[in-house]
Amino acid sequence: MDPQRGPEGVVDHTTVLIAGAGPAGLVLGNLLQAQGIGTLIVERASREQVQTRARAGFLGPNSARVLVEHGLGAGLLHKGRSHGVCAFRGEDGEFELDYSRLGQGEVHTVYPQQDLVTDLVAEYLDRGGEIRFGATVTDVDSGTATIRYRGEQGDSVATGRFLAGCDGSNGVTRRAVPGPRLTQDHGVSWLAVLAEAPQSMAAVTYAIHDDGFAGHMARSPEVTRYYLQVPPGDDPETWTDDRIWAALRTRMRVDEFGQLKEGPITERRVVRLRSEVSDRIQHDRLFLVGDAASLISPSAAKGANLAIMEAEVLASALISLLHNDDERPLAAYSRTCLPRVWRAQEFSRWMIDLLHAPDDDFHRALRRARLHSLRDCRAHQNFFAEHYVGI
Ligand X SMILES: Cc1cc2nc3c(=O)[nH]c(=O)nc-3n(C[C@H](O)[C@H](O)[C@H](O)COP(=O)(O)OP(=O)(O)OC[C@H]3O[C@@H](n4cnc5c(N)ncnc54)[C@H](O)[C@@H]3O)c2cc1C
Cα–Cα distance measured from residue 108 to residue 117, given in angstroms and rounded to the nearest whole number: 18
Total H helices, total E strands in the chain: 12, 20
Residue from 12, 119, 291, 312 binding ligand X (CB under 6 A): 291
- Of 168, 112, 158, which is closest to residue 131 (Cα–Cα)? 158
Cα–Cα distance measured from residue 181 to residue 298, given in angstroms and rounded to the nearest whole number: 19
- Smallest distance, ligand X to C-beta of residue 256, A: 27
Residue 206: active-site member: yes
Verify binding: residue 50, ligand X, rule CB under 6 A.
Answer: yes
Residue 333: active-site member: no
Cα torsion 116, 122, 125, 129 to 10°: value is: 0
DSSP designation for 333: H
Count other C-beta atoms under 10 Å from residue 238's C-beta.
10
Q: Catalytic residue among 216, 302, 356, 387, which? A: 302
Q: Which helix (H) or strand (E) holds 386?
A: helix 378-389
Closer CB to ligand X, residue 13 or residue 225? 225
Verify binding: residue 38, ligand X, rule CB under 6 A.
Answer: no
Verify binding: residue 172, ligand X, rule CB under 6 A.
Answer: yes
- Of 109, 117, 264, which is closest to residue 194 (Cα–Cα)? 264
Q: Catalytic residue among 124, 206, 227, 333, which? A: 206
Verify binding: residue 68, ligand X, rule CB under 6 A.
Answer: no
Closer CB to ligand X, residue 121 or residue 253? 121
Taking CB under 6 A as the criterion, which residues in 131-160 touch ligand X?
136-137
What are the CA-CA distances from residue 188 to residues 231, 232, 273 (Å)?
Answer: 7, 6, 6
- Smallest distance, ligand X to C-beta of residue 175, A: 10
- Specify the stretch interacting with ligand X by CB under 6 A; choose among 54-62, 174-182, 332-340, 378-386: 54-62
Taking CB under 6 A as the criterion, which residues in 100-119 touch ligand X?
113
Verify binding: residue 24, ligand X, rule CB under 6 A.
Answer: yes
Count other C-beta atoms under 10 Å from residue 324's C-beta.
9
Q: Catalytic residue among 112, 298, 333, 387, which? A: 298
**φ and ψ at residue 65, rounded to 5 degrees:** -60, -45
Half-sphere exposure of 161 (CA within 13 A, CB side): 11
Verify binding: residue 188, ligand X, rule CB under 6 A.
Answer: no
Residue 298: active-site member: yes
> With contacts defined by CB under 6 A, how many residues of the chain interact with ligand X?
36
Verify binding: residue 171, ligand X, rule CB under 6 A.
Answer: yes
Cα–Cα distance measured from residue 63 to residue 89, given in angstroms and rounded to the nearest whole number: 28
Residue 388: active-site member: yes
Residue from 18, 31, 166, 201 binding ligand X (CB under 6 A): 166
- Smallest distance, ligand X to C-beta of residue 372, A: 27
- Smallest distance, ligand X to C-beta of residue 350, A: 16
Residue 302: active-site member: yes
What are the CA-CA distances from residue 310 to residues 50, 152, 287, 318 (Å)?
Answer: 20, 31, 10, 12
Closer CB to ligand X, residue 164 or residue 253? 164
Verify binding: residue 390, ligand X, rule CB under 6 A.
Answer: no
Verify binding: residue 312, ligand X, rule CB under 6 A.
Answer: no
Verify binding: residue 44, ligand X, rule CB under 6 A.
Answer: yes
Amino acid at 59: L
Closer CB to ligand X, residue 330 or residue 391? 391
Count other C-beta atoms under 10 Å from residue 90's C-beta.
18
Verify binding: residue 290, ligand X, rule CB under 6 A.
Answer: yes
Q: Is 200 helix (H, G, I), strand (E, B) or coil?
A: coil
Write out the catalytic residue numbers. 83, 206, 298, 302, 388
Return residues touching ligand X (CB under 6 A).
19-25, 42-45, 50, 55-58, 113, 136-137, 166-168, 171-172, 192, 271, 290-292, 298, 301-305, 307
